Every structure is written in structure tokens, then in C-alpha cells.
Amino acid sequence: MAKITQLYKTPEVAEDMKSYKEKLLRHRAGIGVRILIGVALVAGLIFGMWSWSQYKTYGAYEVLSSTPRTDTLNTQYAEYNGKILKYSRDGISCVNLQNEAVWSQTYNMQMPILDVCQNSVVVADMQGNEVYVFDEEGLRTQITTLLPIQQVSISSQGVTALLLSDSSASWIHLYDQDGEELTGARCRLGETGQPLSIGISSDGAKLAVSYLQVQEGSINSCIVFYNFGPVGGNFVDKIVASKVYEDTVIPRIKYLGDSICAAVSNQGIIYYAGKEIPEETAIVTETKEIRSIFFGSGHVGLVTEGEGNKEESTRYEIHLYDTSGNQILTQGTNLAYNQVKMSGKNLILFNENECEIYSDQGVLRYAGSFDGAIADIYKGSGLRKYILVFSDRTEEVKLK
């Protein structure tokens, strides 16, 4: 019988497979760990760069685009859903951030006043009789009044409130988005006082009015809330709430949504809340003189005089509050500003030659001047990008 020579020994399949699987698992685990470390390093680098950019102060900029201005020097500007409104005595136009026209409307007004709420825009001729209401597509309706217009306020649906006056009384009229009158109320000066400010809620259901009352040598203010919904029908003249504040002047009142209202007085801010019947919820008291009032998305801002008698004091102090009256920012500045505003999450102060831009956390983003006389500034779309309106051109710039 022939002898068979064994050329190789058959491996133990079970043991080899077990060893192979262990090696494969260790290999895969190693790859996974290396991937996780790489992802963590990249994420850390990105977060570090983002944090650095968020807290960095810039002193220079580059011009990304420049467009010559074709509007008149008395043109005013306002932000509108990521676009810009330009309005003057001759008309109003809506342009995108590339200065391309979205819609426009001509008119003839002596003193145009504007209000914006979400998708709705109203422009009226103060002391005149013409009102134009717009949405994102352009002109929605036109209203002509019999009495001179004093103030205007608009809701998100286009419901427009007008404060009108003659020599003996003031009138408040509400119009729907198609220009049809909804209701009206007469304010007899001897009974209610002189209306100073009106503000309609974003849902168009409630209206707040600040009245100035002079009685026996004292100056008081009365805040009155009207409800034009079913609840208001249960109250006389639809007045659902009112309160008198002694020795106080309240020149500005504004709804910050459907149910929150802020009244700015010579002493601070009074907050109200209520879906149907507003109630006072908070009072912010300012001990220093209030120089400026401004509103942002869910914010109320005040600029007061600084502490001039302190060594490290600034000329002005900026106080920013949320819708509950909580102070979220206090920022000092020495800039001799002529305008202060919120644009997105940016606090912007500027005069004709200089500008300061802060984040809503108080980080100074830019301090310096621009090449030209500044008419207005807006936050652009993109990191560190801004829209600058000069006397002769509009530029998109990026801080660097």
C-alpha cells in the first residue's frame, strides 16, 4: 500500500475563526476610535473658530458690492422680512439686499409715517388724509380719511388702526385688510385726555392707547385697552381694561405680539399681558434720563444718560429688556450717536461718520468709521455681512 505524505495540517476552523473575528473587531474598533477622535478634533476646531469669530471685535471691512443710490436724500429706511423699505414724500419701494426692486408705489405725502408688522406694511401722511397698506406682493388697499392723521399702527393680517384728530376731539378708526372700516371710537379730550400713542396687537384683536391727562395742575397718563373680538362686546365701548399713572407721561405704547404690550414712560417701561384682557405684569424703573427708545424682535431698548460723576463711566448706557421685563443687556458707550436700532440680533449705534455694532450679548463686533456719510445700517444675510446706506450709494460689506 502506498504511503501518503501529509503536505499540510488542517487548521482548527473554530479556533481560527474566533481569532479572526477578534482581530476584525479590534481593527474596526480602532478605526471607530480614530474616526471619533477626528470628528471631535474637527468639531472642536469649528467650535473654536466659531467662538473666536463670535467674540472678536473687527476694525476693518471689505466691500462685496456697491450700487449707486437713485432715491432722494430725504428717503427713510426700514427693515421688512429680510428686505429693505425705502419711503419718502414721493413714494415707497421694497428692495432685496441686492438692491433689486420687489415692488413700489408712488404717492404724494408731506410727512410719511410707517409701521411694519410681519408681512404687513402701512404708510400714512401725518396731518394728511392718505393711507396705503401693503403685503409681500405690493399694494393691498388704499384708505382716505376725512380728518387729519396723527398716528398709525398695523397688525400682521393688515388690520390698520388710525388715530385721527380735529380741534375738539380725536378719533380711533379700525380698517380691515381690504380697507373696509371695522369700528370707530371718539375720544373727547375733556373726558379721556389727549391720545399720545396707539398700538394694535399682531392678531388685530386688541388696541392699546396712551392718553395724556392734565387735571388740577398734575400730569397723568391713562392706558386704555380695547378688545374688538367677542369678549370686547361684553364691555362698554369695548374697553376691557384701563389704568391711570400719576405724574407720568407715556409717549409710546407698542404690542410685542398677540398678547404682550409695552408702554414706555418717562420713568421706564410698563409691561402688560393677556390674551383677551391685559393686566400689568412688570414695571421697569429708570432713575436716569431716557434719551432714546427702540424696539427689536421681542425686545425693548432704552438709552439713558451715563454716570457722569464716575471715573470709568460712559456717556450713555443702553438697556435691553425681554418681553417679561428682564434686563438682558447693559452696555455703555461714548459714541455721540444719532440713531440706535436692533437689526436681527445686532445692536447698532451710528452717526454720520462713526458706528458701533454689538451682539445681543454685548460683544462689540465693530467700532470705527466707514468711507462716506452713513444714512442707515442693516444686518445682511451671512456671517459678518452688513448693508450700508450712504448718501450716494448702497454697499454690502463684510467685517474683517
Q: What share of the chain is helix, strand, coil (3-state, %, to 5)?
A: 10, 50, 35
What pLDDT score does 310 carry? Answer: 61
Q: Give the start-to-end residue ranges of the domains of the chain.
A: 33-67+286-400
- Which residues lie below 8 Å from residue 268, measured CB to CB, with a gap of 6+? 283, 284, 285, 286, 290, 302
- With a CB cutoff of 8 Å and minimum separation 6, the contacts of 250 are 196, 197, 210, 212, 221, 223, 263, 264, 265, 266, 270
Mean pLDDT, range 210-221, rounded to an integer: 89
Q: Is the pLDDT of residue 133 over 90?
A: yes
186 falls in which pLDDT band (50, 70, 90)? confident
Domain 33-67+286-400 matching CATH 2.60.120: the answer reads no
Question: Quick check: 127 pLDDT over 60?
Answer: yes
Mean pLDDT of 151-174: 92
User: What is the average pLDDT across 150-157?
Assistant: 96
Let me know: does 81 contact 95? Beta carbons within 8 Å: no
pTM for the complete prediction?
Answer: 0.83
CA-closest candidate to residue 373, choices 341, 351, 357, 358: 351
pLDDT of residue 3: 53
The answer on pLDDT for 169 being more than 70 is yes
Cα(117)–Cα(119) distance, rounded to whole angstroms? Answer: 6
pLDDT of 47: 47
- Report the pLDDT averaged over residues 220-228: 94
pLDDT at 284 over 90: yes
Q: Over 70: is that where the pLDDT of 240 sits?
A: yes
**Cell triple for 132:** 396705503
State the amino acid at position 138 in one-letter form. Answer: G
- Mean pLDDT across 161-168: 88
119-128, 148-157, 226-235, 305-314: range with lowest mean pLDDT? 305-314
Strand partners, 95: 84, 101
Answer with the residue of higher pLDDT: 82 or 290. Answer: 290
All residues at 6 or more sequence positions from 70 whose CB lies less than 8 Å from its CB, including other chains: none
Tens of pLDDT, residues 325-356 = 999 999 999 999 999 999 988 999 999 989 99
Q: pLDDT over 90 for what percent of the chain?
A: 64
